[in-house]
Chains A and B, each alone.
Chain A
Amino acid sequence: MDATIDIRTVDGNVNILLEDAQVGSIREVLVELCLSTMAEFSMLIDAAGRVVASGGETAAFDTEAIAALAAGDLATTRQLARMLGEPEFALLFQHEKQKNLFMTAVDNDAILIVVFDVETTFGALRLRIRRSISQLQQILHQARKNTVVAFASTSDATRRSLEEKEEEHEGAPSTAAVVQPAEPGAAQPAATGGTGLPEQLANDVRKAVAWFDGFKGWEVMFKDEVAFMRNSLTRNRPEEIENVRMTLVRTRARLTEQKRLLEAKFRMVQSLYQQFLSVLHGVMLKAWTAEVVDRAMKAAFTGVGAEFNMISSGAQKKADGAWTLEFASIGKQMVLMCHARGMNYQDGVGELLRQMNASLMALSAFLAENARLRDELIQGWARVFHHYAEGLKTLDLESEALELFRPLVRPGQMPKA
């Protein structure tokens, strides 16, 4: 399959592969939308914050930064919608005299953004946009079908290499045990042989323990439960059956709840991170020569976290010299680190914040001679952080990580806006 562009989920997995012709059709829909509504420009982006296609006058805007911020924004909007029991929110922000923005999810992982000004009436846009959305959905639906076929027909060798890559990302050597369903033939004799548990329960417990083995981070959080379940497989105590069953059910329920909480936290950190990048970019663009910016950015993204540098894993320099950063790679790196160090994800988020702060410090060292730019950088970060400090606290983020930032955001120290 001749695919040039892909659409990724929020954690960076490729979900849809688009052929050149399909990208062309998407672009046509976007251009037509702009022409018929007099909108300034429209973009289709993926949940990982990358631009898939755009139409209209985009030259005056930093579309990549807009896409990254918009993906972060929609992530928190989705969390809000879930909280209120809504399937999805479409977002609109308005400023009568300047720009208005309309943002809506086209697909699980594709987001449509339309930027328009006073020349466009919102009513007309709303009517027209429905048609565009359904056209885009059709294209994506077809592309998704093709993607499934393409993956299915991939030769064994390619598939193996893909799987190896996946494992590498997961970072836990024992994940294979989780992916493979338990072999009933082999497992059953062992199940009845000495566990004292009913076959089905023994299988469930074994699966659960294998799952936890593959995800060290979660094992840390459910240490006692996992140890109890592991022991129950060898202890052969029929009187414990009910206890084991209850532990299994309760652990499963708590795990679901914890995952949901983690997701909310992850979304917030994603949004925080993307705003952080936007601040870095904005300030560094004003700093001296391109060469200095380059050195400073390099220092910021490579100088922190010797083993697992989450920030640098998302940093890339493009051909035109600008630095881009992808949240998806950061997320993967975070998972990798949590697995390798047996940390829980909470600590991973804390580490990410710590690295962001270290990056900021590395950058501000380069700006030491220019007090104005340094203040601007700190002020920007403090502003972004201040917005989130309470939110992260509400979500029980590790207090130690938050304390690191405290000196920067004490009100008296902040330069006046």
Chain B
Amino acid sequence: MPTNFLELKTADVELLDSELRTLCARAGAEAVVLLDLSGAVLSFHRIPESIDVLMYAALLASNFAATEELSKKLGVTDFRVIYHEGKKQNLYFDKVSDETVLVVLFKDSNALGRVRLFCEKSIPELARAVEGITKSPEAAGAMTQGRDAADSIRQIVESLKTPKSGG
């Protein structure tokens, strides 16, 4: 569950970028994107200009979330991988950490096994990099702020009592 703040510094961005570049070359992928589960893009490589990266990432994240919920209904406790098979292109999702997912777009001529192999090799590196980002002291400090859930419920109930005009 995405409860942490992700704070990217230049060094983090470079590290993630280089990891993705390497993965893309080794796996023979068309494009790779690393995103967090709320749909924010952490890093991407070779996404075609015709695709709006933000919208693409938002859809990928929501797709992953929906499938994860589905897997829970089937009793899967440790959900990680989704594979979408198209006519010419395929998508491979692999969970990097609790909050981040790696998504690889690859052509039909490429083998799923190859993509999978190199993803599995890259994921520990990416996970380490992402973990370094989420555990930065600033992020940990920000985590402790905020009030408890009961307060927020009261707030929302109040706001609902005064309906806004125009529905």
A residues sitting closer than 8 Å to B (CB atoms) are: 61-62, 65-66, 69-70, 72-73, 76-77, 79-81, 83-95, 98-99, 101, 115, 264, 268, 271-272, 274-275, 278, 337, 341, 343, 347, 351, 354, 357-358, 361, 364, 374-375, 378-379, 383-384, 386-392, 394-395, 400, 404, 407-408, 410-417
Contact = CB atoms under 8 A, between A and B. Distances in A.
Contacts of A79: 59
Interface string B2-17: 1111000000000000
A59 B29 CA distance: 41
Contacts of A364: 153
A410 B151 CA distance: 12
A358 B84 CA distance: 36
Interface in B1-50: 1-5, 37-40
B58 A343 contact: no
Nearest 5 A-B pairs (CB), nearest first?
Answer: A412-B146, A391-B58, A390-B39, A407-B152, A387-B65
A347 B165 CA distance: 12
B74 A66 contact: yes
Contact of B79 (A84, A86, A93): A93
Q: How large is the interface on B (under 10, 10 to 19, 20 to 34, 35 or more residues)?
A: 35 or more
16 contacts: A61-B73, A69-B66, A73-B63, A80-B56, A80-B84, A80-B91, A81-B84, A84-B51, A84-B89, A93-B82, A268-B58, A361-B153, A388-B62, A404-B156, A414-B3, A417-B98
Interface of B: 1-5, 37-40, 51, 54-56, 58-63, 65-67, 69-71, 73-89, 91, 98, 105, 142-149, 151-153, 155-157, 159-160, 164, 166-167
A101 B70 contact: yes
Given A268-B62, A416-B3, A387 B86 contact: no
A80 B152 contact: no
A274 B62 CA distance: 12
Nearest to B83: A92
